[in-house]
Chains A and B, each alone.
Chain A
Amino acid sequence: GAGVSQTPSNKVTEKGKYVELRCDPISGHTALYWYRQSLGQGPEFLIYFQGTGAADDSGLPNDRFFAVRPEGSVSTLKIQRTERGDSAVYLCASSLKGTSGFYNEQFFGPGTRLTVL
């Protein structure tokens, strides 16, 4: 079956512009995560959705970053007034959360490489 997909694969923008990054999780996965990965570093957690609601947004660096998941499937990460420091690979992952309340393994997409000039 299809895995997690992310669009676009690459995005180049200018400082100060607004960008939207899209994630299509695996069908039926209720949990969705966004991570950011800078060059040479491990992925850094940004936000976690369980269904439509953001259950944990403790990783969002500031109020320029916002994410939505209005119907509990596709999610969009939105970045306002982009800065050069926002340049990174943005990764999306999805997983099942079982009826026992246990989190299952996360399946990651290929990422969107964002470059802010």
Chain B
Amino acid sequence: DAKTTQPPSMDCAEGRAANLPCNHSTISGNEYVYWYRQIHSQGPQYIIHGLKNNETNEMASLIITEDRKSSTLILPHATLRDTAVYYCIVRFRSGNTGKLIFGQGTTLQVKP
């Protein structure tokens, strides 16, 4: 699975958009981009995933560059409850294993 690179930490003001970047320059054609987050003392939580088109759901939007070498997770109106570690993961959606390979993630601190 491709390796991802994320900034270790970011701050965001409550009510503003949080834009979390991820680099995955070695992504292959059939690998998807997934985002999970982990709030303190909880298990990770799925947010969103995409292949090449931009995606939006009730939690966030995912913007993938045309060359697929990077992506941005957007939380449109961050709240204090969005303070968490955010993980960007790339992997195939089919195959012999569905395991997730987590990096260090980005610690997002939403401030009042």
Contact = CB atoms under 8 A, between A and B. Distances in A.
Interface of A: 4, 31, 33, 35, 41-45, 48, 55-56, 58-59, 91, 93, 95, 97, 100-103, 105-111
Contacts of A43: 44, 100, 102
Contact of A45 (B42, B43, B101, B104): B101
B86 to A, nearest CB: 11
Contacts, number: 61
Interface string B34-64: 1000000111111001000000000000000
Interface in B57-112: 85, 87, 93-94, 96-105
Interface string B9-38: 000000000000000000000000010000
A110 B41 CA distance: 7
A110 B42 contact: yes
Given A43-B100, A110-B41, 9 more contacts: A4-B43, A41-B104, A42-B85, A42-B87, A44-B102, A48-B97, A95-B98, A106-B98, A108-B42
A72 to B, nearest CB: 16
Which residue among A35, A95, A97, A105 has the maximum number of chain B CB atoms within 10 Å of its CB? A105
Given A41-B104, A42-B105, A105-B49, A91 B43 contact: yes
Contact of A56 (B41, B49, B97, B101): B97
Contacts of A45: 99-101
Contacts of A108: 42-45
A76 to B, nearest CB: 18
A33 B99 contact: yes
Given A4-B43, A93-B43, A42 B104 contact: yes
A93 B96 CA distance: 17
B103 A101 contact: no
B46 A105 contact: yes
Give the top 10 A-B pairs by smallest Cβ distance, nearest first.
Answer: A108-B43, A42-B102, A103-B98, A105-B46, A56-B97, A45-B99, A101-B94, A102-B93, A43-B102, A108-B44
